[in-house]
Amino acid sequence: MLFGRNSVLNSNALALFDGFPVGTRLQIDMQEGYWIGCLTSIQNNLVIIDNAQIFSDSGSPLEELRSTAQVPLNLITFVSVAPEDIQTELHNDETSNNSVAGYFNNFLVRISEMRIDLDKSANRFAESLERINKSVQSFVNEVFGVEK
């Protein structure tokens, strides 16, 4: 079920969950990733899910499995029944290696992914600043008749 990216809670947001009985295993999409868990309740503009885990858009787990998670309704972009095999498929490699070295390796991989994302964001931010600077310079030149 589709839900807009509105920052203001839509009064019909709760109706999106009417088709899902309590206990239904859901995939709850957000702008930056998605949650998978069993619907427990909806209260105080939060969707409460049990046996929940958050994943990146690429499908890799971002955190360990939680007993309970709360997802704000205003962050939800899409809701559907989760595929039955998604958790076991995505977790087998990581959870089968419970050693310190395995966790450390997973940590390093996640840090590396975050660094790459931060680099991309920094580059986009720098490009935005350059465009703003050029716009301001053009505006000042037009208003005050300054030539280069």
Q: Which residues are registered as beta bridge partners of 28?
A: 35, 79
* Distance between CA atoms of residues 122 and 113, nearest Å: 14
Q: Are residues 36 and 63 in the same domain?
A: yes
- Name 10's Cβ contacts closer than 8 Å, sequence gap at least 6: 3, 4
Q: Are residues 6 and 68 in the same domain?
A: yes
Q: Are residues 65 and 86 in the same domain?
A: yes
* Distance between CA atoms of residues 3 and 7, nearest Å: 11
Q: Are residues 90 and 103 in the same domain?
A: no
Q: Are residues 101 and 68 in the same domain?
A: no
Q: Are residues 44 and 71 in the same domain?
A: yes
pLDDT band of 36, cuts 50, 70, 90: very high
> From start to end of the chain, where are the E strands?
25-30, 33-43, 46-55, 66-72, 78-81
Encode pLDDT of 54-98 as tens digits.
Answer: 998 888 888 888 889 999 988 888 888 988 766 544 444 444 445
Q: Are residues 40 and 52 in the same domain?
A: yes
pLDDT at 5: 46
Read off the CATH number of the domain in which 34 is found: 2.30.30.100
pLDDT at 38: 92
22 close to 96: Cβ distance less than 8 angstroms: no
Q: Are residues 92 and 103 in the same domain?
A: no
Range of the domain at 88: 1-96
Question: pTM (2 decimals)?
Answer: 0.52
Q: Are residues 20 and 87 in the same domain?
A: yes
Torsion of CA 44, 46, 52, 57, to 10 degrees: -170
* Distance between CA atoms of residues 2 and 7, nearest Å: 15
pLDDT at 31: 84
Q: Are residues 107 and 148 in the same domain?
A: yes
pLDDT at 56: 87
Total number of domains in the chain: 2
78 close to 2: Cβ distance less than 8 angstroms: yes
